[in-house]
Amino acid sequence: MKVLILSISAGGGHGHAAQAIKDYINLKDSTSEVRIIDTLKHINPIIDKVVIGSYLKTLKVTPSLYGKLYTHSEGDYTIASTISSKLIGIMTHKLLPLIEEFSPDILICTHPFSTEMVSVMKSKYNINVPSMSIITDYYSHSSWLHPYIDAYVVSNCDMIEDMVCKGVPRSIIHNLGIPVNPNFIDKYEPVSTLKELNLSEDKFTILVMGGSLGMGKITELYQELSKISKDIQIIIITGRNNKLFSELTKLKEASEKETRIIGFTDKVNKYMQSCDLLLTKPGGLTITEALICRSPLGLFSPIPGQEEKNAQFLLKHNLAVNLSDVDNCKDLIEDLLRFDNKLEIMRENCDKFSKPNSVCDIYNLINTLICDKNIKNNNVTSEKTLHEDSSNKNFLKSIEEYFIKTANKIFVGN
């Protein structure tokens, strides 16, 4: 089996989902060849740097602007979506040599950009390869939905009805969940984990996370947690955010709560299984992992757009409490501590939506798609593939020159 996974390095979830699939395929069939491509970086590193750099900068500086763009681009004919589709259509041809050289049995996408690129390749360049898109959130924004995709993998049943209303055939939507690393379902004894951290097994344990980038109002949240009257203990994972790690290390010296600050770690499941309550941004991958670990959730600092939609799903199904008003989170958490049955109900609800076998089920679907597709030629390309339209070439060249100039302004200051 030859599998090509097209991802984008915007946040951690898209890449982690891709890696989870690769790891499981290699585990099940060592003869398979699986490649993960950072799609924008492969097309042009300068474009990738500008797009991803601008994305991250917008999230940190003006997240409300990103939220407005996300909402506005929901329609099929908005200016933003039209320009984005035009650029993606122009850039797509740069993936064709890779398809031709690797000759994959299936194309898997874990980001809306790469999903649209695969749709363009299949419609415009006659690439006759089965395709799958794994939506790594709990809501189906229209940027994910494109023709010529053979299968969509979604995280919950609510998404199915929404996608059908948007024109996606019900038969190609598979409620299999967001894939996590095969090792994630390993069981850890909470007592042992707490002992490793020199924490008590008898105290209520709160775990705080801000995703791989350590984003959100974690410092403010920690200051509020320190005011809780009950004798709790706190674990905070700061990811790759070294500045946050340093800030919290200083703050914990003045806190009466036993606190452990952990940087980037590949043992998130270990710490999730040891906590009584997980406070986090509602990223798609984090939600999926929390459901598997049966961790009740408190949600703070959602990214406007997809994470707000994720939060709506969790609150609707009583899987979480809303801590978006960080200044009032102390009272909300103390309320949870007084009524322990609320936490138990959330744990029970986790079982209804948890999909620990997601990556195995996706692997079976991959095999089904490959078998069902009567591929006579894995790479049937039209003359458009080999002889690109000259106007497209010139347009792409001008776009690349624009991105190079923009990159110099953003990252170099020239």
In this prediction, residue 321 carries a pLDDT of 95
Q: What is the DSSP string of 365-401?
A: HHHHHHHHS--S-TT---HHHHS--HHHHHHHHHHHH
In this prediction, residue 92 carries a pLDDT of 86
In this prediction, residue 75 carries a pLDDT of 58
Residue 249: pLDDT band with limits 50, 70, 90: very high
Residue 218 structure tokens:
């974690």
Sheet with 320-322: strands ordered across: 258-262, 233-237, 205-209, 277-280, 297-299, 320-322
Of 304, 324, 353, the position where a domain reaches its end is 353
Together in a domain, 135 and 240: no
Of 305, 328, 353, the position where a domain reaches its end is 353
Together in a domain, 381 and 321: no
Per-residue pLDDT, averaged over 104-117, amounts to: 94
In this prediction, residue 57 carries a pLDDT of 53
Together in a domain, 248 and 201: yes
Together in a domain, 306 and 216: yes
Relative to beta strand 205-209, strand 173-175 is: unpaired
Together in a domain, 369 and 292: no
Among residues 379, 382, 386, the alpha carbon closest in space to that of 104 is found at: 379
Expressed as residue numbers, the domain containing 337 is 183-353
In this prediction, residue 72 carries a pLDDT of 56
CATH of the domain at 255: 3.40.50.2000
**How much is the CA Rg of the chain, to the nearest whole Å?**
22
Is the predicted pLDDT of residue 263 greater than 90, yes or no? yes
Together in a domain, 196 and 171: no
Residue of 87 and 204 predicted with greater confidence:
204
Together in a domain, 302 and 380: no
Is the predicted pLDDT of residue 412 greater than 50, yes or no? no
Together in a domain, 343 and 199: yes
Together in a domain, 15 and 159: yes
pLDDT tens-digit map of 192-224: 999 999 999 999 999 999 877 778 899 999 999
Together in a domain, 235 and 142: no
Pair 310, 359: CB distance under 8 Å: no
Per-residue pLDDT, averaged over 396-406, amounts to: 51
Of 330, 353, 376, the position where a domain reaches its end is 353
Relative to beta strand 173-175, strand 151-154 is: parallel
In this prediction, residue 138 carries a pLDDT of 96
Together in a domain, 37 and 148: yes
Residue of 137 and 386 predicted with greater confidence:
137
Residue of 404 and 208 predicted with greater confidence:
208
Average pLDDT, the chain: 84
Please give the tally of structural domains in the chain: 2
Question: Quick one: CA torsion of 366, 367, 373, 375, rounded to 10 degrees?
Answer: 100
pLDDT tens-digit map of 164-198: 999 999 999 999 999 999 889 899 999 999 999 99
Is the predicted pLDDT of residue 391 greater than 50, yes or no? no
Together in a domain, 231 and 325: yes
Residue 212 structure tokens:
């791989």
